[in-house]
Structure 1
Amino acid sequence: MIKIVTDSTAYLPEEMVREHDISVVPLYVHFGTDAFKEGVELSNEEFYQKLKEAPELPTTSQPSAGEFHEVFAPLIDAGHEIITLTI
């Protein structure tokens, strides 16, 4: 079976993610020294609230290769092929 892996910048609707069993690897959003996994540790509503209150604009950073490996490894071990779509 072919599995799809993407990152959180795809902003796929949750229903689509569930329906097609898509794996989403979150990017990090940094507000000052605080880092949050997009969509996991920081919802859209929380993001916009923090954006209003933050003295500086947030930055982002990519997931590590290890974080992608954590998603890929079980899929490969289960015999799946993977299509990956990221920024």
Structure 2
Amino acid sequence: MLRIVTDGAADVLPEWAKEYGIDTIPVNILFGEKSYLQGVELDNEGFYKLVEESKRIPKNVSAFPSSIC
């Protein structure tokens, strides 16, 4: 079976993911020393709130290969 796998940076709509069988691996978003899994530990609203409160631009780290296995 063929599967499409992408990371959270693709921002695939949940209904598309379900319809087309797309698996999304969350990326890690870093605010200073704190790390959050996109869409798991930090939703869009929480992300923008942290940006506003911290006045910093967050960094992201691609999904780790171990996240897939």
5+ residue gaps, structure 1, are 71-87
Shift of 1:56: 2.2
In our comparison, the structure showing a higher alpha carbon Rg is 1
Q: Tell me the SS of whatever aligns to 1:30.
A: strand
- The match for 1:21 is 21
Which of 1 and 2 has higher RCO (CA within 8 Å, sep 6+)? Answer: 1
In the alignment, what sits opposite 1:3?
3
CA RMSD in angstroms comes to 1.1
The count of corresponding residues between Structure 1 and Structure 2 is 69
* Paired letter, 1:57: I
1:36: Cα distance to partner?
0.5
| Counterpart-to-counterpart distance in 1, 2:10 and 2:55 | 27
Please state how far the C-alpha of 1:33 moved relative to its aligned partner.
1.0
- Divergent runs of 4+, >6 A: none
Provide Cα deviations, 1:33-64, integer angstroms capped at 9, x if missing partner.
Answer: 11001111110111001110014221111121
Asked if 1:37 corresponds to 2:37, the answer is yes
Give the alignment's TM-score, normalised by structure 1. 0.73
